[in-house]
Amino acid sequence: MSDLDATTPRVFLARHGETEWTKNGRYTGITELDLTPEGINQVTSTAVQLVGRGRLIDPARIARVWVSPRRRTQQTFQHLFGATSCDREGNTVTLTEDIAEWDYGDYEGLRVSEIRSRRKENGLDQEMEWDIWRDGCEGGESPQLVAERLDRLIWQIREIQEPYMDGSKAVDVVLVAHGLILRAFVKRWLRYSLDTPLPMMLSPGAIGILSYRNHDVDEPGFFIGMALPSTE
C-alpha cells in the first residue's frame, strides 16, 4: 500500500504567529496578546504559499475549522484565510476552548528556568526536573485534563472523517491554535500518553499535517513530509 494522498482526510495544524512572549520564551496561556508585525508576516507568507484553490489547504476541501478563542489565534485565522473564504455549505468555523492553549495557572508568563527554580524553592522536584508533560501546572491544567479535552475534539474529527476515508467527499479539517497544545494534540492523535517522549517543533505561523495510514481511521498517523499539489 502506498503512502497517503490528498484523497484521505487530513487535519491541518496551524500555529499562531509570533507574539512578544513567543520571542522571549514565556508561557502564554490565557493572556491576550496580539501578533507582532513579524507574526503577521509569518502567517500571511504561509497563506500565500499554502492556502487557496488548488493549494495544500484548499478551502473547497475543508469541512470544519476549529479555532482557539484567544485573540492571537483569531488574528491568525483571519490572516491565514484572508479574502479566501473557507465557508461553504455544511462548513462551520468554531471557537472552542478544547483547542485553547494549556492553562499554565501559576506559571503564566514565566520561562521554563523560572518555573523550575520556583518549584525547587517550594520543595518540589528535588530528584527530577519539572516536566509539564508529566507534572502539569500548579493552579492550571494537569496532563489528564488536557488529554480529556483533546480526546473530545479528536472524537468529533473522527465522526466527520470516518465515513469518507475513500475520498468520496472532501472532509479536511483545520485547527488554528498554539504551540504546546498542538504538540499535545499530535500525541493524543497518535494515541500516546502526554508524558510519552516525542520531541517536536512547530514554528510560529507553521502548518503541521495529520492523517491516517492505509485509508484506515484506526491507523492515525502524521506526515514527516508531503509533496505539494501541482501548480499546473
CB 70 within 8 A of CB 100: yes
Residue 214 Rama label (left phi>0; alpha psi -120 to 50; beta): left
Query: DSSP labels for 50-76?
Result: HBSTTSSB-GGGEEEEEE-SSHHHHHH
Please check if 39 is assigned to a binding site.
no
End-to-end CA distance of the chain, in Å? 27
Nearest to 173 by CA among 61, 52, 55, 90: 61
Please check if 101 is assigned to a binding site.
yes
Please check if 29 is assigned to a binding site.
yes
Please check if 61 is assigned to a binding site.
no
**Residues with catalytic roles:** 16, 101
Torsion angle defined by CA atoms of residues 164, 165, 166 and 169, in that order, rounded to the nearest 10 degrees: 30
Please check if 8 is assigned to a binding site.
no
Please check if 28 is assigned to a binding site.
yes
Please check if 102 is assigned to a binding site.
yes
CB 150 within 8 A of CB 68: no
Q: Which three cell numbers stand for residue 120?
A: 525547587
CB 75 within 8 A of CB 34: yes
Q: Binding site: what residues are annotated?
A: 28-29, 72, 101-104
Q: Binding site for substrate: what residues are annotated?
A: 28-29, 72, 101-104
